[in-house]
Amino acid sequence: MATDVEIAAMSRALELAAKGPQSRNPQVGAVILSPDGSVLAEGWHRGAGTAHAEVDALTKLGGSAVGATAVVTLEPCNHTGRTGPCAEALLDAGISRVVFAVADPGEHSGGGAAALRAAGVDVEDGVLGDEGRALLDAWLTSRALGRPHVTVKWAQSLDGRAAASDGTSKWITGPAARFDVHRRRAEADAIIVGTGTAIADDPALTARNDDGLFPHQPVPVVIGAREVPADALLRQHPHAPLFYTSHDLTATLVDLLDKGLHRVFVEGGPTLASAFIAAGYADRLLTYVAPTLLGGPRAALTEMGVRTITDQRRLDIESIDRLGDDLLIVSHPRPESESH
């Protein structure tokens, strides 16, 4: 059973993990505790090729931590990649106990806990596991499913319309909601639209704030067979756009993951958003709801395979927040076994 001191250290380790970049590698934090529970060192992973969190912390101790406890957000790895195995580094340092939040699902990187236990180290897992899984949600999804984590976003009126009858949609939501969208774009590796949206709205697909562009920009991705004009704003994006003429979402997502893009943000339009949902590729849904009524045929979502009420796609609500006059509803699909 984890002690109160270890739980507090795990909370701190999660804060440290969040300092690391959101990339193909997981965000990991570590705290080294002395036998009396005082903090000896802290560390976190700063990106591919840099020291893992455990090694970052141990380095500050000169590599020696005899009798200490390592509190880590992710199970110490057990393989050699760009860096050596963290389980071995902990053993070499003399660590006597390891506490971690989330097991590593990797076929090659997992197994660190078993290796530590076999060497006589006391190991406890699952401490603040829910918080750890929330932090690593996108990374865990890509590891488990072999595709990127997908967030599908749309803005709608209170009566579920994405645009007025003539197709105009700027702006349904207010400044606070739009800023939140740009902030979330900046956390993604790629932003996906269909050719219809790319041609009709001519979006820049950048992540912007009042001072200009965010430091991190998602790679623009366009799906569809129609040619996007040479003078389209997205062609001026800091990253070269990726174009997929096939509507095979599975192949597209696998290719994006192969390119190192494991968090994608789907923005539109209704047909593409519905296709991702229908295919079961929407891991998180962001619905921005404006207190306005539009009527007409321009529904925020279209066909997604629901023929009768028993086919409905039930969602679990993660949060509801007010952004200025608008609401943001964050949800995720309920597992099929619980949907009906």
CB 231 within 8 Å of CB 202: no
Q: How far is CA 17 from CA 11, 131, 151, 249, 285, in A?
A: 10, 12, 22, 32, 24
For every residue of 123-166, DSSP letters joined together read: EE--TTHHHHHHHTHHHHHHHHHSS-EEEEEEEEETTSBSS-TT
Q: How many CB atoms lie within 10 A of CB 277?
A: 22
Cis peptide before 171 (omega within 30 of 0): yes
Amino acid in the structure at residue 166:
D
Under DSSP, the state recorded for 57 is H
The Cα 182–Cα 106 span in angstroms is 32
For every residue of 238-284, DSSP letters joined together read: SS--EEE-S--HHHHHHHHHHTT--EEEEEE-HHHHHHHHHTT--SE
Catalytic pick from 54, 75, 88, 267? Answer: 54
334 Ramachandran zone, left/alpha/beta (phi>0; psi -120 to 50): beta
> Is 54 noted as a catalytic residue in this protein?
yes
Cβ-Cβ contacts under 8 Å for 233 (sequence gap 6 or more): 202, 203, 204, 205
Catalytic residues: 54
